[in-house]
C-alpha cells in the first residue's frame, strides 16, 4: 500500500574545485625582488664598481692613456647606450689607479679590449694590470662622469708600509684612501666640469695613494689579471652533488 505524496527532489550542489584547494599565496624569488627594486629606482641594469691598478711604460703621455679609454667607452656606447661609464683615472709616473663604474657587460668589454690590446701589441703602454676588488650591485655612483688626473711631481712618503704590513693591511690602506679620495672628488668636482685637475698632490696630498702600494699590488699574485678574471667569468657554473660521486649509485625503491 502506497501513500500518495510529492516526490522529494534531491538537489546536488557541486562544490567548486577551487574551494577545496589551499589559498594560493603569491610567491616570488630573489631575482624578481632585485628586478622590482631596480624598476622602482628607474635602473635598467645593475651597477658595479671595479678597482684596477697597472703599470705603464716609460714616457707614456697622459693623452695616450686618456684617448685609449675614451675610444673604448665610445665603442661600447654604440651598442649599450644606457651603460655609461663613470669613474676616476689617476696617472702616476710609472703606474695608474683606475676606478670604473658601469654595468657588468660594459666592464667585461673594457677588460676584454685591454686583454686584446696586450696580445696584439707587445708595446701596449698599459701592462701588469690587476683587479683589486669588484663591488657588485652598488646603490649609486660615486662619480657623475669619467675623470682623469695626473700626479705631476713625485710625492714623498715617510715610510713604505709594504715592507711593514701584511697584504691584508696594505689592501685595507689602499681601499680606505681610495674611497676617501673618490668622495673628495665627488664632492668638489661639479657636474660638467673636466675634472679635479692635475694638482691633487698640492690640494690633498694626504689622500693620495703611494705609488709604492700600486706597484706592490701589481706584483701580488693573490689578485687576478684580466685574463684570469675573464676566464672565470666565462666558465659555466657546475655544482657536483654528493650523489654523483657515490658508488654504487643510489637507487629508489
- The whole-number pLDDT of residue 13 equals 53
Strand-pairing partners, residue 97, are 53, 90
Domain that holds residue 136: 44-228
Residue 51, domain CATH: 3.30.70.100
Residue 250 confidence (pLDDT): 56
| 177 belongs to a structural domain | yes
Burial of 75-113, coded b for 16+ CB within 10 Å and e otherwise, reads ebeeebeebbbbbbbbbbeebbbbbbbbbbebbbbbbeb
Task: Flag whether 197 is in a domain.
Answer: yes
Number of domains in the chain: 1
- Cα gap 132→213, rounded to integer Å: 12
Contact in structure between 53 and 218 (CB atoms under 8 Å)? yes
pTM attached to this predicted model = 0.73
Q: What is the pLDDT of residues 90-113, one digit of tens each?
A: 999 999 999 999 988 899 999 999
Is 67 among the domain residues?
A: yes
| Cβ-contact 212, 55 below 8 angstroms | no
Instruction: Please check whether residue 35 lies inside any domain of the structure.
Output: no
The whole-number pLDDT of residue 156 equals 53
CB 167 within 8 A of CB 221: no
Residue 227's DSSP bridge partners are none
132-183 pLDDT, tens digit each: 999 988 888 888 889 899 987 665 554 566 777 889 989 998 999 999 988 8
Q: Assess if residue 4 is contained within a domain.
A: no
- Is residue 114 scored above 70 in pLDDT? yes
Considering the domain boundaries, does residue 39 fall inside one? no
Is position 66 within any domain?
A: yes
Residue 58: left if φ>0, alpha if ψ -120 to 50, beta else—which one?
Answer: beta
What are the pLDDT digits (tens) for 179-210? 998 888 888 877 666 667 777 877 888 888 88
| Greatest mean pLDDT among 3-7, 36-40, 117-121 | 117-121
Is residue 146 in some structural domain? yes
Which residues, including other chains, have CB under 8 Å from residue 131's CB and lie 6 or more apart? 50, 51, 52, 111, 223, 224, 225, 226, 229
Amino acid at each position: 500500500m502506497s501513500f500518495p505524496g510529492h516526490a522529494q527532489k534531491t538537489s546536488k550542489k557541486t562544490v567548486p574545485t577551487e574551494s577545496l584547494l589551499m589559498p594560493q599565496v603569491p610567491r616570488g624569488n630573489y631575482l624578481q625582488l632585485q628586478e622590482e627594486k631596480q624598476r622602482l629606482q628607474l635602473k635598467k641594469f645593475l651597477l658595479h664598481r671595479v678597482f684596477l691598478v697597472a703599470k705603464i711604460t716609460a714616457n707614456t703621455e697622459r693623452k695616450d692613456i686618456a684617448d685609449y679609454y675614451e675610444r673604448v667607452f665610445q665603442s661600447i656606447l654604440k651598442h649599450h647606450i644606457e651603460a655609461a661609464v663613470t669613474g676616476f683615472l689617476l696617472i702616476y709616473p710609472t703606474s695608474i689607479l683606475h676606478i670604473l663604474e658601469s654595468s657588468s657587460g660594459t666592464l667585461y668589454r673594457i677588460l676584454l679590449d685591454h686583454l686584446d690590446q696586450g696580445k696584439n701589441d707587445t708595446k701596449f703602454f698599459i701592462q701588469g694590470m690587476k683587479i683589486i676588488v669588484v663591488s657588485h650591485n652598488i646603490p649609486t655612483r660615486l662619480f657623475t662622469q669619467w675623470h682623469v688626473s695626473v700626479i705631476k711631481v713625485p710625492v714623498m712618503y715617510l715610510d713604505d708600509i709594504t715592507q711593514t704590513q701584511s697584504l691584508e693591511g696594505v689592501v685595507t690602506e689602499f681601499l680606505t684612501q681610495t674611497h676617501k679620495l673618490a668622495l673628495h672628488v665627488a664632492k668638489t668636482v661639479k657636474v660638467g666640469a673636466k675634472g679635479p685637475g692635475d694638482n691633487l698632490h698640492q690640494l690633498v696630498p694626504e689622500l693620495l695613494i703611494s705609488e709604492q702600494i700600486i706597484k706592490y699590488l701589481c706584483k701580488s699574485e693573490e689578485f687576478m689579471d684580466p685574463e684570469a678574471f675573464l676566464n672565470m667569468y666565462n666558465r659555466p657554473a657546475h655544482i657536483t652533488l654528493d650523489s654523483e660521486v657515490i658508488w654504487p649509485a643510489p637507487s629508489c625503491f
